Amino acid sequence: MAAAYGLYTHIQSNKRRSIGLLIGLFFLVYLMTYAGALLAEALFVEVPLNDLDVYFRDPTGYTLRAAWRDFLLAWPWATVGSILWIVIAYYFHQSIIDAVTGGQEVTRTQQPRLFNILENLCISRGITMPKLEVMDSDALNAFTTGMNEKQYAITVTSGLLKTLNDAEIESVLGHELTHIRNGDVRMMVIAVVIAGVISFFGELVFRGIARGGLRGSRGKGAGAVILIALAIVAVCWILAIVVRFALSREREYLADAGSVELTKNPDAMISALRKIENRGELPDSNSAVMELCVDNPREGFDNIFDTHPSVDARVAVLVKFAGGHDPGPINPPLPQPESPPEDAAPPGGPWSSVSEPLQPQDMGQNDGQIRGPWDPGTPI
């Protein structure tokens, strides 16, 4: 198998893509700003009296030019807003994701098994050890976040820890470490930021439409301008989707290969993928978080918008190039809640299934039968 871990070409490609994504972010924001200016001119702005003659000669052209003037006034604010969004994402994206997923940072004392496995992997290759977080969920999944070495954090679910053995957990952690080394994590976080910005601006545009309706204040020509604006918004939405899903799915194949390169154990990577298969859904997490995971069970239309290759495809590559063995689909037992100790006191109470010892006062003195307070033979 090719030494996918640390491939110089892939790392350099991801760096170029990250820069391209940031440039694309501003381009899409500017398009959305112009679309908003078009809608504002068509729906809310009245034509000045001294421009009526020019407007009636070419209403569409006049509105487009007016919207362009509005855009030139608004683009500095759009730029500042985008930069602010990037800064917030850079410094606080981990806190935001933790708020969504409920992930909590853990120490060696809290999770010695997980901590030791990751530490051994990092020491073996001289990698800076990322932070570790555990998310309380029966789902089987893991993901990595962060923009630099000080921020990188690997989050695993409690279900993964209960279901996978040490070798399989080591493979999953190796997969996530490869994403860090190859620059995939930074690129995916930037893609999530782009999606957030476009969604925000798109919501502003549609709120403006809902507020003003589709009946323009300018009458003639307004309908064409509104259609142009909606077309621009649609293009931006599509481009934002393309940006997110154009990030090559090859990154998952390379991360799997990188894990095998780290652990020298293709069978553990394969069995980990088989156990995670179709059990990685994080119900309370949005699609942006799922795109960061080892496996994303949410499928797009006819697999066109899938962010991950299928587990079958990933296993087939590991079998072909790493010499692994595929056990086929695995149905691991679901994590069960911890049972109480055997010496724990049984629950009591009048409705308990465990009977309480009978006391002498509860027994009839003549026939040894249990009597209640309304029994005619019970003394008062």
Which pLDDT does position 352 carry in this prediction? 46
What is the pLDDT confidence band of residue 218, given thresholds at 50, 70 and 90? low
Q: Cite the beta strand spans of the chain per DSSP E.
A: 104-105, 131-135, 142-145, 153-157
In order, the DSSP letters of 172-217 are HHHHHHHHHHHTHHHHHHHHHHHHHHHHHHHHHHHHHHHHH-S--T
Q: Is the pLDDT of residue 175 over 90?
A: yes
How far apart CA 86 and CA 194 sit, in angstroms, is 9
Strand partners, 144: 154
Q: Is the pLDDT of residue 360 over 60?
A: no
Strand partners, 156: 134, 142
Domain presence at residue 359:
no
Containing domain of residue 161, as a range? Answer: 1-345
| Amino acid at position 329, single letter | P
Domain presence at residue 322:
yes
Give the pLDDT confidence of 63-119 residue by residue, as tens digits.
888 899 999 999 999 889 888 888 888 888 888 888 888 899 999 999 999 999 999
Which pLDDT does position 117 carry in this prediction? 96
Q: Is the pLDDT of residue 2 over 50?
A: no
Q: Is the pLDDT of residue 131 over 90?
A: yes
The pTM for the full model equals: 0.72
Which pLDDT does position 333 carry in this prediction? 63
- Annotation marks residue 356 as catalytic: no
Domain presence at residue 134:
yes
Which pLDDT does position 344 carry in this prediction? 54
Domain presence at residue 379:
no
The arithmetic mean of pLDDT across residues 327-339, rounded, is 69
How many structural domains is the chain composed of? 1
Q: What is the mean pLDDT of the chain?
A: 78
Which pLDDT does position 299 carry in this prediction? 61
- What the block records as the tokens of 282 is 């994080």
Domain presence at residue 354:
no
Strand partners, 293: 143
Domain presence at residue 361:
no
Domain presence at residue 369:
no
Does residue 134 contact residue 104 with C-beta atoms inside 8 Å? yes
Q: What is the CA radius of gyration of the chain?
A: 30
Please identify which of the residues 41, 133, 170, 176 carries the catalytic annotation: 176
Which pLDDT does position 238 carry in this prediction? 79
Calculate ∠ Cα 86-92-98, nearest 5°: 130
